[in-house]
Amino acid sequence: MGYQAKFKVWRGDAEGGDFVDYRVDVEEGEVVLDIMHRLQATQAGDMAVRWNCKAGKCGSCSAEVNGRPRLMCMTRMSTFGEDEEISVAPIRTFPVIRDLVTDVDFNYAKAREVPAFAPPEGVAPGEYRMAQADVERSQEFRKCIECFLCQNVCHVVRDHEENKEPFSGPRFLMRYAELDMHPLDVRNRKEDAQEDGGLGYCNITKCCTEVCPEHIKITDNALIPMKERVVDRKYDPLVWLGKKIFKRQELEQRGATGAQSLENPGPDNGSALDADRIGPVGTS
Amino acid sequence: MTDPGTTTAFEAAGEGATDVAAVTHHTYDVLVIGAGGAGLRAAIEARLRGKRVAIICKSLFGKAHTVMAEGGIAASMGNANPRDNWEVHFRDTMRGGKFLNNWRMAELHAKEAPQRVWELETYGALFDRTPDGKISQRNFGGHNFPRLAHVGDRTGLELIRTLQQKIVSLQQEDFARTGDYESDLAVFHEYTITELLKDGDRIAGAFGYRRPTGELVCFHSAAVVLATGGVGKSFKVTSNSWEYTGDGHALAMRAGAKLLNMEFVQFHPTGMVWPPSVKGILVTESVRGDGGVLKNSEGERFMFNYIPEVFREQYATSEDEGDRWYTDADNNRRPPELLPRDEVARAINNEVKEGRGSPAGGVYLDVSSRMPAAEITRRLPSMYHQFKELADVDITAGPMEVGPTCHYVMGGVEVDPDTAASAVPGLFAAGEVAGGMHGSNRLGGNSLSDLLVFGCRAGAGAAAYLDGLAEVPTVSDASVTSAREDVERPIHNSGGENAYTVHQELQQTMNDLVGIIRKADEMELALKKLHELRDRIPRVAVDGRRAYNPGWHLALDLRNMLMVSECIAMAALERQESRGGHTRDDYPTMDENWRQELLVCSLQDGPDGPTVQLEHQGQPAMREDLFDLFELDELKKYYTGDELGGHRSDAPPRQTRGTEGAGDEAERSSSTTETGGDPGGELTGGGA
Ligand SMILES: Cc1cc2nc3c(=O)[nH]c(=O)nc-3n(C[C@H](O)[C@H](O)[C@H](O)COP(=O)(O)OP(=O)(O)OC[C@H]3O[C@@H](n4cnc5c(N)ncnc54)[C@H](O)[C@@H]3O)c2cc1C
Ligand code: SF4
Ligand code: SF4
Ligand code: FES
């Protein structure tokens, strides 16, 4: 069953590095992440690798395996020939910290630039009503496990450091779309996506969609519809005239933030601790 | 992601000048250790209440264990069945924990879970909906009504992402005011805390290191909330990730807090067993809830041989009846595949032991013969995907191989239910790291709600503690020096033990000797091995540099895993009965005299340094109005005659009782057929 595989693993740090050859045992049913763990336990105790769930749910273990952006925990060894030399490198678009670990803080910075969900004013918790059909579009985007493989592969930033400033990348352009399609969000997200997110840089090559391990149709379902909405908004006079028809559109404006949480931070601003109000058995 | 803080060249006493790394100092009001559901909810609450908060986590932000939860979050919103309410949820939770739960925690949890779930919608969460647009709720084991809010089979992802995005939203509000996103709410991801620092009795801060660089950090903070999750990585076969090394449990003990109920570890009956590399990964309970059956190597549905006496009346005795239950729950009894988790796990264990297991040492779980392929892929998409991609098994065409896997620890830090405060002033704990809420066995879905309810209360508790604090405690140089020496020991050691080898031995010991079925002599042997490891762990040496060195990180986690393993083994040896997540081969039955005995672990100074001490502690008697929620006949199964003492024996049934009672069966949309006598819970449903 078991055999010895030939691996080339990129070892190094921000200063530089190179592929190092390893011969390592492979057992039946293993994935690339298992091999990295075996290397750690037997030959390279200090080799840096990120992982958590080992089941494709957390998006930690992104790397480039034979040049292809993958989750290491979902890349089975049986997809390679036994004599094939397998290379494992850190994802390229982000600066290396060490070995297979890269500095992905770019993504967290971009996440912070997307204005948060703007809740409707005057709708109390527990009073939210939405139809399943209406939440499904945004739900697809919320399957995202933030593996950042799409961010890594998108050519707008992969080879153009200078675009990292104006362009938030497919994952966060999708976040604009998600909020735009959220049935109760009251903010107008079109200009946000266009002007702050750099939606215009995307030329719908669909490379992001191809690598997404969650099989989210990033381009077709998020980016293209968002581009269309931006265009509609700019040129379609009906959007401006017909606004009164829909309540949400009436509210919708670019600066809307919904209810704010920190207007009066302090002991009285806390969430209700209901147990005290509900009281003992029989009093509710 | 965070500001650099102030760096002081810290001269460690007695160390060679060649390796004196700087220590970076940060000051916050509240330090939240852990960025899972509990930690994030605590941070939000403390920030809302006006505190400057730092969140610290070992992995990247958004990758905590909470992300893996599948099935759902339990809250009696009554959307699927209007007769659900907190009292029913409370009862279910107490039964699930076999009445060993801290009843006040169970009460707070049942009362506040709905509000905490609804709040998530105001943060932007998108749960699956009912036809009238409310949050949809699904059936789950041990829950008498459909109660679990869910998003397909990725509820944990939705929960953590929503809380993460709420944190961002608060940061945006701070940014609008101060021009700095992290001015009042900062996230330090890929930082590990190795020690809590105290000033006298009080918490004064925490010490740790930054994984990417290996730089040392000291946080100054008068309130610390522990939300570090569980301990599964002490066992070989587990559904838990590398983060689950019991850090919070150990940090709390070393700071002087107590751990309770450590003997109760939940083994989920169905983890993957093949291929070896995925052994332990969870196979959701929905597979059985939706009709999957368990078979041994002889093709027998063996669960029919394992229906315990107390459940005789509630479970089908023939395959035909069991099969009919899926479509007609009112007129048939449920199949024994849906017995409580502990029962199923034990049965699988026994089949394998007696030689009727599958080649990889599990049993077969089959849905392929139960429903058409298209239905399987529709109902169980992630399981289909998981087996296809990881095991090359098509679950629509053949059976899965499954076996028990270590899943959740019921035991944890003893806290005040209302404020989540531990015995150490300034130290709070919430989520899986806290103990008491779930008693001897947790119901599916009750963890995610626990995280929100007690995370919120911990944040509020910490804020209130600070408001009442007269004087800010200070971190002493001596405590920093000592924390630093511990962190650097594996780097300074040379030619010692290999961290990975020691870890494997620890896991094997716990798995084999303190696993799902326990015996006195095996646990004594385990303790002996653990004592040997206690001597070896300080000698672990690591190579390489400080920057992102997993060997070093593991070396530091080992002492925490060892400490919680000792607690588990000692408490398990002491408890001479079987209850929930603790099964003794030599004491196979539940003993009502043990119900109110809690086993509590603490660290005591001894001649060879601090050692784990175990004590018995009584459980406070349940408040009368809560006690009255149960029928005497049911209480008799758990309580001693003395405890009942004629209590309520002839009290009239209360009006509020019986919401899930026999009465109008036809109206019940729940799939459960019995009327509330479901001790042990965990019967059907998804992940959990
Ligand atoms: C596969 C699976 C499915 C599940 N499904 C369900 C379900 O459907 N419903 C349900 O209710 N429950 C479920 N559970 C259980 C539930 O997910 C966990 O109990 C819960 O998520 C724990 O949350 P937490 O906030 O306590 O900790 P976690 O989410 O585990 O977070 C712990 C945090 O603490 C940090 N940390 C730990 N140690 C340190 C340290 N030393 N320094 C700094 N940071 C540290 C970690 O980095 C992490 O951020 C499931 C569990 C598993 C494994
Ligand atoms: S479709 Fe757009 S976002 Fe996606 S990879 Fe291509 S250019 Fe980038
Ligand atoms: S959209 Fe897909 S590829 Fe991009 S981060 Fe999310 S899960 Fe990864
Ligand atoms: S380890 Fe979680 S996605 Fe690979």
User: pLDDT tens digit string along A82-141?
Assistant: 999 999 999 999 999 999 999 999 999 999 999 999 999 889 999 999 999 999 999 999
**B389 — pLDDT class (breaks 50, 70, 90):** confident
- Decide: B340 in ligand 1 pocket, CB within 6 A: no
Say which residue the tokens 């020691």 belong to.
B502
B359 CB neighbours in chain A (<8 A) are: none
B255 within a domain of the structure (yes/no): no
The strand pairing partners of B53, in sequence order, are B30, B185
Q: What does the alpha-carbon distance between residue B67 and residue B241 come to, in Å, rounded to a whole number?
A: 11
**B187 — pLDDT class (breaks 50, 70, 90):** very high
Helices and strands, number each (H, E), in chain A? 12, 7
Q: What does the alpha-carbon distance between residue B253 and residue B259 come to, in Å, rounded to a whole number?
A: 7
Residue with the larger pLDDT of the pair A226 and B377? A226
Phi, psi of B217 (to 5 degrees): -135, 145
Atom of ligand 4 nearest to the CA of A50: 1
Contact with chain B for residue A48, Cβ under 8 A? yes
Among B387, B407, B427, residue at a domain's last position: B407
Among B383, B407, B431, residue at a domain's last position: B407
Atom of ligand 3 nearest to the CA of A62: 8
Q: What does the alpha-carbon distance between residue B5 and residue B650 come to, in Å, rounded to a whole number?
A: 66
Contact B391 A59 (CB under 8 A): no
Contact with chain B for residue A26, Cβ under 8 A? no
Q: Which of A232-236, B181-185, B409-413, B529-533 has the lowest mean pLDDT?
A: A232-236
Closest chain A CA to residue B2? A105
CATH number at residue B293: 3.90.700.10
Q: Out of A48, A143, A278, whose CB is closest to B154? A: A143
> For residue A243, what pLDDT is reported?
43
Known catalytic residue: B407? no
**A245 — pLDDT class (breaks 50, 70, 90):** very low
Between the CA of B70 and the centroid of ligand 4 the distance, in Å, is: 15
Domain count, chain B: 3
> Average pLDDT, stretch B538-558?
91
A28 CB neighbours in chain B (<8 A) are: 275-276
What is the overall mean pLDDT for chain B? 89
CATH of A105-260, one of 1.10.645.10, 3.20.20.140, 3.10.20.520, 1.10.1060.10: 1.10.1060.10
pTM: 0.92
Q: What is the pLDDT of residues B93-103, one digit of tens each?
A: 999 899 999 99
Q: What does the alpha-carbon distance between residue B616 and residue B598 come to, in Å, rounded to a whole number?
A: 6
Contact with chain B for residue A107, Cβ under 8 A? no
Judged by its nearest atom, the ligand closest to the C-alpha of residue A207 is: 2
Q: What does the alpha-carbon distance between residue A83 and residue B231 come to, in Å, rounded to a whole number?
A: 39
Known catalytic residue: B288? yes
Q: Are strands B597-606 and B259-260 parallel, antiparallel or unpaired?
A: antiparallel
B385 within a domain of the structure (yes/no): yes
Judged by its nearest atom, the ligand closest to the C-alpha of residue A202 is: 2
Q: What does the alpha-carbon distance between residue B192 and residue B250 come to, in Å, rounded to a whole number?
A: 13
User: Which residues does B574 contact at the CB level (< 8 Å), separation at least 6?
Assistant: B263, B599, B614
User: Which residues does A258 contact at the CB level (< 8 Å), separation at least 6?
Assistant: A117, A118, A119, A120, A121, A185, A186, A187
The DSSP symbol for B631 reads: -
Judged by its nearest atom, the ligand closest to the C-alpha of residue A159 is: 2
Helix axes A169-181, A224-235, angle to 10 degrees: 60
Among B407, B435, B460, residue at a domain's last position: B407
Helix axes B103-122, B446-467, angle to 10 degrees: 90
The CA angle A184-B168-B417, to the nearest 5 degrees, is 95
Interfacial A residues in 53-92 facing B (CB < 8 Å): 53-60, 74, 76, 78
**B660 — pLDDT class (breaks 50, 70, 90):** very low
Q: What is the pLDDT of residues B462-516, one digit of tens each?
A: 999 999 999 999 999 999 999 999 999 999 998 889 999 999 999 999 999 999 9
Contact A54 B241 (CB under 8 A): yes
Contact A109 B151 (CB under 8 A): no
Residue A270 has pLDDT above 90, yes or no: yes
Domain housing B646: 625-684
A76 CB neighbours in chain B (<8 A) are: 389-390, 392
- Per the omega criterion (within 30 degrees of 0), is the bond before A280 cis? no
- Decide: A208 in ligand 2 pocket, CB within 6 A: yes
> Average pLDDT, stretch B450-461?
98
B362 within a domain of the structure (yes/no): yes
B561 within a domain of the structure (yes/no): no
> Average pLDDT, stretch B247-261?
98
Chain-centre distance for alpha carbon B514: 18
Q: Are residues B144 and B270 in the same domain?
A: no
**B138 — pLDDT class (breaks 50, 70, 90):** confident
Which residues in chain A are classed under CATH 3.10.20.30?
A: 3-102
Contact B48 A269 (CB under 8 A): yes
Contact with chain B for residue A256, Cβ under 8 A? no
Preferred mutation among A142, A172, A176, A180 to probe B, highest tally of B CBs within 10 A: A142
Phi, psi of B382 (to 5 degrees): -75, -30
Q: Are residues B141 and B274 in the same domain?
A: no
B474 within a domain of the structure (yes/no): no
> For residue B18, what pLDDT is reported?
42
B609 within a domain of the structure (yes/no): no
> For residue B477, what pLDDT is reported?
95
**B150 — pLDDT class (breaks 50, 70, 90):** very high
Question: How close is the nearest chain B Cα to the Cα of A236, in Å?
Answer: 29
Q: Which token pair is B534?
A: 């206690």
Domain A3-102, CATH: 3.10.20.30
A126 CB neighbours in chain B (<8 A) are: 77, 114-115, 118
